[in-house]
Structure 1
Amino acid sequence: MKVSHAFLSLFLGSTLTSAAPASHYDCTGTANNAEKSKDYICGDENLGLILHGSNATKETRPSPKNRILDCILRDYDPLAGMKPGALLSKYKNENKQWIYPYANGFSNFTNGTSQSSITDIPPGTSLDRFGSENGSFLAILGTSYGSRALPPSSLNPYPAWPLTGVDRSNTFHIYHVKEKFEATAGMIAPGFGQTGEGMQFMIEKSIRSLIDDKKLEEVTAEHVVTREKGFDWNKCGPRGVAVHAVIVGGKPATGEKVPASQNVPSSEKSSFDWVGLFSSFSNPGWNQPH
């Protein structure tokens, strides 16, 4: 399926990150496909979408999904300050596959031990993901894209997947935890020129299996934006949106008071100490082997 430039503009809505036209890049070492140059950097799908500014559409009010994506993609530089060909040369192997960080993408201590731990993800938690339900990685809702250390191509729409509406990103999904499940949690290692340092959760099976087991439910962006009224969608960062107000009782790690989500039954709110979990991973001495 051919993905049109107009669709991609609406697909990412009013994302604040912008990229120069393909002609402004040194496209040496890239696919440099002229037919795709309106949609992808240097016409190369590996380099991801050209992220359009707020003038990309005639919409005066971004859709809920685009509002969330705006926040996640704010300040994201897909090339990480490198020339397009240099990024591909550094992060692609001889088989043209992305070179992902070791240890499943978790940061390591100085002695090489993975900075991660098995924990239960409690009910009431809102998570998100770029990728299909066949994958096994999740992040706290609103984690900035650079903090996820994903390759730029992870933003690309999947032609084989159904699309619902002109502004739907079919690679971005939002989930609500209905029943606790076990996951390996830890800080994300730098990768693809991005800083990482967000929190990721890796499960043994797949996202689809959690949905089938009624432990995880996909929700719409409209549901999230309406429900999570305590979130500041201008503050996506390594710890999600304002350290995810709903799962820490409205008090983010900064100590700044954020209104708790409205109209959410207390039974659905998590009392888990997410701030403490982040602090433990941020502490170099946490679980440090001797």
Structure 2
Amino acid sequence: MIDIGSLRALAAIEQHGTVIAAAEAMGFSPSAVSQQVKKLEKEGGFAVLERRGRGVLLTERGLALAAYGRRILAELEELESTLLADPDKPSGSLRLVSFSTACRGLVGPMLARIGQSEAALEISVLAEDPREAVARVANGEADLGLVHNWNSVPLVIPEHLALEWLCEDVADVLVHGSHPLAKQSSVEPAELVDERWISTPDGAICNEALLRIFADLGRVPDIRIYDPDFATHIALVEQGVAVALVPRLGRPALPPDVAAVQVVKPVQARQVGLVHRRTMTASPGIRHVAALLREIAGSGVAANGPGEP
């Protein structure tokens, strides 16, 4: 009989390209993954991997077996999350990947509510970029992903993932209180072309959103500082070093010397959503977490508006 663990190992190798990468994704040692593959080859009576340089490739039969394996694993996951789960008592462990501001604005309040309830859920959280979150949920490394989709930088979601939009998150330009723009209620991109910026790292989705603001003007923002933490952006705006584009979700209280000005024409906003594999749609745990996040996002308490501290 073919072992489920061996099929999972083969599918991971196909997905990640090497035994080492598959082992890291599964949380096993490379030798353990290799043993699973050897066991599969012994049971099937044929080779599923062939060496190519320093890596490996799946044989024709290996590819076919991996394809069958993915379908079997998906059906098994659906079985475990529905028929074998009590719909009235969310329980078990879930792995959630979230971008950092959603960790503060949505995940924190959600974990607090679970801690105060009778739900026997254990949730581990990893903060990563939405693209990484989608990839981890898609390949089974995580169960849920909180992601964002800027109106100017679309996020690609694989077909086997379900996506639910939770809320819209507007981003404001933060300037020092002495800045000429500080007293304005809104600002257009043309008024920002000569500013010095602090941005998230090159290639990050929020960095791409900043670049897109000026695309129609034929200009590139003068980015002087790159830092992944919006708290650092706020601190440097307070010191008058630069201006920053910072979303409201999870944004801490702004210092007295920092003003938030909304960007218009167009408004800078991102949609915040929750992704999970479609095989997990009926999972009581998934449904419970989704309901809590939906409620928190809809309450409006997770974000600060432009004039709020």
Please give the range of the TM-score, normalised by the shorter of the 2 chains: under 0.3
* Structure with the largest fraction of strand: 2
* Structure with the largest fraction of helix: 2
Taking structure 2 as the reference length, what is the TM-score of the superposition? 0.22
| Larger gyration radius, structure 1 or structure 2 | 2
Query: Which structure has the higher relative contact order (CA within 8 Å, separation 6+)?
Result: 2
